[in-house]
Amino acid sequence: QLQLQESGPGLVKPSETLSLTCTVSGGSISSSSYYWGWIRQPPGKGLEWIGNIYYTGTTYYNSSLRSRVTISVDTSKNQFSLKLSSVTAADTAVYYCARVVRGWYDALDMWGQGTMVTVSS
Amino acid sequence: EIVLTQSPGTLSLSPGERATLSCRASQSVSRSYLAWYQQTPGQAPRLLIWGVSSRATGIPDRFSGSGSGTDFTLTISRLEPEDSAVYYCQHYGSSTWTFGQGTKVEIK
């Protein structure tokens, strides 16, 4: 059974860089059938797509975050990562990693449990 | 970029009743890149419907999706207490994934 697990600091200072890693277990990140993505959810609010990556390293970013976001993949570790620079309190959210199924019209079929990241000094 | 608008904001119904949730796109959705998710408090979203009307693995048949163009619907035919959740529609297009703002379903 595929599982995704987010990890990283729960507290980040304003203006610094938020860094999270998603570890994929029970399946290969190098499958041509999937993308891998990051989504966030501020407290009490809805879902916001951040970006996706293919195992080849091809990336897709939300245009509103593009200047601050970098998503990378490490196929040897079966992991992909998110870096969000110059964070502010508005970046406080639960961050989810997820799998996108290319054959299912790019729906997100598997999600990590999410990790809360607070931006505060 | 397509904007998805969901209505109503909140739906309050009794067990056994039918719930109809709407998702309207600002432009016509090409092909079938429309999905629905269920999120209960403190949990990650769960995929219910992909490709407008296909149920994801393990999803009960009381959940169904329909629609085309700019108007899409998630129907829960007979509400169960565990269906109390927030439901989101999601679209993929032009290398961008977009979510609606969500509809909260409350069970009386």
Residue B91: CB atoms within 10 A of its CB come to 25
Distance (Å, whole) CA B49 – CA B90: 10
Q: How far is CA A56 from CA A32, A59, A75, in A?
A: 9, 9, 9
CA nearest to B45 within chain A = A111
B44 vs A52, A62, A111: nearest CB: A111
* Interface with chain A: mutation pick from B4, B6, B7, B97, highest number of A CBs within 10 Å: B97
Q: Could you give the percent of chain A with pLDDT greater than 70?
A: 100
**pLDDT for A59-105, tens place per residue?**
999 999 999 999 999 999 999 999 999 999 999 999 999 999 998 88
Please answer yes or no on whether A60 and B96 come within 8 Å at the CB atom. Answer: yes
Residue B13: CB atoms within 10 A of its CB come to 17
Q: Could you give the percent of chain A with pLDDT greater than 90?
A: 97
Quote the pLDDT of residue B32: 85
**pLDDT for B43-89, tens place per residue?**
999 999 999 999 999 999 999 999 999 999 999 999 999 999 999 99
Distance (Å, whole) CA B83 – CA B76: 9
pLDDT for A49 beyond 90: yes
CB proximity under 8 Å: B 27-56 to A: 31-35, 37, 39, 44-47, 50-52, 54, 56
B50 vs A63, A107, A113: nearest CB: A107
What is chain A's length? 121
Quote the pLDDT of residue B93: 86
Distance (Å, whole) CA B51 – CA B59: 14
A101 chain-B contacts, CB cut-off 8 A: 50
pLDDT for A24 beyond 90: yes
Quote the pLDDT of residue B94: 84
Quote the pLDDT of residue A32: 94
Cα B56 to the center of its chain, rounded Å: 12
Quote the pLDDT of residue B95: 87
